[in-house]
Amino acid sequence: MAKKHSTPLYLYDGDLIRARAKELKEAFEIDLFYACKANTNVDIIKLIYKEGFGIETVSPGEINAAIKAGVPISKITYTCGNIDEEEFIYVAGKGIRVHLDSLRQVEMFGKNFPGRKISVRLNLNFGAGEHKHTTTGGKDSKFGIHINKIGELKKIAKKYNLKINGLHQHVGSNILDVNTFMKGADALFETALKFPDLEHLDFGGGLGVPYRPGDKKLDLKKLGRVFAKKSDKFAKKYGKVLKMSIEPGRFLVAEAGDLLMRVNDVKNNPSKTFVGINSGINHLIRPAMYGSYHEIINLDNRNGKKEKVDVVGNICESGDFFAKDRMMPKTRVGDLLAVKNVGAYGYVMSSDYNSRPKPKEFLILNGKSRLI
């Protein structure tokens, strides 16, 4: 691909995405919604939808991408952030299932759509994730209606004759531990007992993938078994079986993506060796923003003698790096590097900073590649 096309470029393994989708369907006998903010490429959304997934969105742009991919409104959900009333009415008016994120949004919904059913996102005072910026629950989180506001929530719902038929939560991102995910799920099960008219529970996403060598892979089969057992127990206590769903994003696409780039320069300074590449934080911002680890492979010198280097980009910023103090096989100008696990939150968070163009994206599926 690198010989055929100029670098940098994003490359996605469609067969691996399908394999991850199959793993999820085998582990969970519930509704699955792809959190498309991880990768909003229409071809990727279309591929995952054809595997039997709905699509979870967080903006009108993502809704439009899902519709363009052929996803019907009935298979799209929308999780609100701090949005204005115009956007809110646009989304709710389409008939998309909306997870309301604040008491103000419940009030807005009631004024515009009185007497309807609503789903609300709760903050059950528990959060988890690989970084504080990706932890979406707990006392410091901006997301959801806090558990101590449930009384006010019910008063507003009653005022507008709204029936709370759904609860939603999302505790954080890239969770690799079954117990951590289930701690959040248990909190939602317990809180659900306070709402008598429920029809569905949504446990959000957060299912993680290993980025660092030695990271333990999430035991998806175990999680599915534990979740099913807890679900059955909850149904007996609640008195009926509810529809349940989760919203995997990263799990489906992260490992399927590679960013291919060339080495432009190598600087051997007294204290550091800098490997300069023809990409940068405008193409992959996760290392600079989150301190995220991505494996980097020298495809032209896999087995060379290792040296400690900083892999840095071509953007005019000191924070423009992909790796610091990384042991890598000796790198030479012109070598082809592959940054692993960038299928999620890679291209989708890219920009035209420094007026440099974004990379092209290619999908490999059934042995054939195409521009997407």
Q: Give the per-residue pLDDT at 88.
A: 87
Tens-digit pLDDT profile for residues 239-256: 999 999 999 999 999 999
Give the separation between CA 228 and CA 1, rounded to whole angstroms. Answer: 43
Q: Which two tokens stand for residue 154?
A: 């019910």
Q: Which two tokens stand for residue 139?
A: 């006392």
Reported confidence tier of residue 280, pLDDT bands at 50, 70, 90: very high
Same domain assignment for residues 221 and 259: no
Residue 180 to residues 68, 129, 177, 207: CA-CA distances in angstroms?
36, 9, 5, 10
138 versus 5: which is more confidently predicted?
5
CATH code for the domain of 341? 2.40.37.10
Reported confidence tier of residue 149, pLDDT bands at 50, 70, 90: very high
Q: Give the per-residue pLDDT at 152.
A: 97
Reported confidence tier of residue 115, pLDDT bands at 50, 70, 90: very high
Tens-digit pLDDT profile for residues 295-309: 999 999 999 999 999
Residue 55 belongs to some domain of the structure:
no
Is residue 321 classed as helix, strand or coil in its secondary structure?
Answer: strand
Reported confidence tier of residue 126, pLDDT bands at 50, 70, 90: low
Mean pLDDT of 30-44: 98
Same domain assignment for residues 126 and 226: yes
Same domain assignment for residues 185 and 290: no
Residue 71 belongs to some domain of the structure:
no
**How many structural domains is the chain composed of?**
2
Reported confidence tier of residue 135, pLDDT bands at 50, 70, 90: very low
Q: Give the per-residue pLDDT at 129.
A: 44
- Cβ-based burial of 49 (10 A; exposed 0-12, middle 13-18, buried ≥19): buried
* pLDDT at residue 201 is higher than 50: yes
* pLDDT at residue 42 is higher than 60: yes
Decide which of 248, 272, 290 is a domain's last residue: 248
Mean pLDDT of 249-274: 97
Mean pLDDT of 47-61: 97
Decide which of 248, 270, 303 is a domain's last residue: 248
Least confident segment among 111-115, 137-141, 159-163, 238-242: 137-141
Same domain assignment for residues 319 and 292: yes
Domain that holds residue 141: 80-248
Q: Give the per-residue pLDDT at 124.
A: 85
Residues 6 or more apart whose CB falls under 8 angstroms from that of 81 comprise: 58, 101, 143
Give bridge partners of residue 145 from the DSSP assignment: 122
DSSP-assigned letters across all residues of 139-187: TT--SSEEGGGHHHHHHHHHHTT-EEEEEE---BS-B--HHHHHHHHHH
| Average pLDDT value over all residues in the chain | 93
* pLDDT at residue 83 is higher than 70: yes
Same domain assignment for residues 108 and 166: yes
CATH code for the domain of 160? 3.20.20.10
Q: Give the per-residue pLDDT at 141.
A: 60
Half-sphere exposure of 169 (CA within 13 A, CB side): 29
Residue 11 belongs to some domain of the structure:
no
* pLDDT at residue 134 is higher than 50: no
Q: Give the per-residue pLDDT at 247.
A: 97
Residue 290 belongs to some domain of the structure:
yes
Same domain assignment for residues 310 and 233: no
Q: Give the per-residue pLDDT at 128.
A: 46
Decide which of 226, 248, 270 is a domain's last residue: 248
* pLDDT at residue 260 is higher than 90: yes
Same domain assignment for residues 233 and 267: no
pTM over 0.85: yes
Same domain assignment for residues 139 and 211: yes
Active site residue 80: no
Q: What percent of the residues of the chain are helix, what percent strand, and what percent coil, each to the nearest 5?
A: 35, 25, 40
Cis peptide before 8 (omega within 30 of 0): yes
Q: Give the per-residue pLDDT at 140.
A: 58
Least confident segment among 124-138, 191-205, 276-290, 294-308: 124-138
Which residue out of 3, 269, 316, 334 is catalytically annotated? 316
Q: Are 52 and 73 in contact (CB under 8 A)?
A: no
- Count other Cβ atoms within 10 Å, centred on residue 13: 17
Mean pLDDT of 157-185: 92
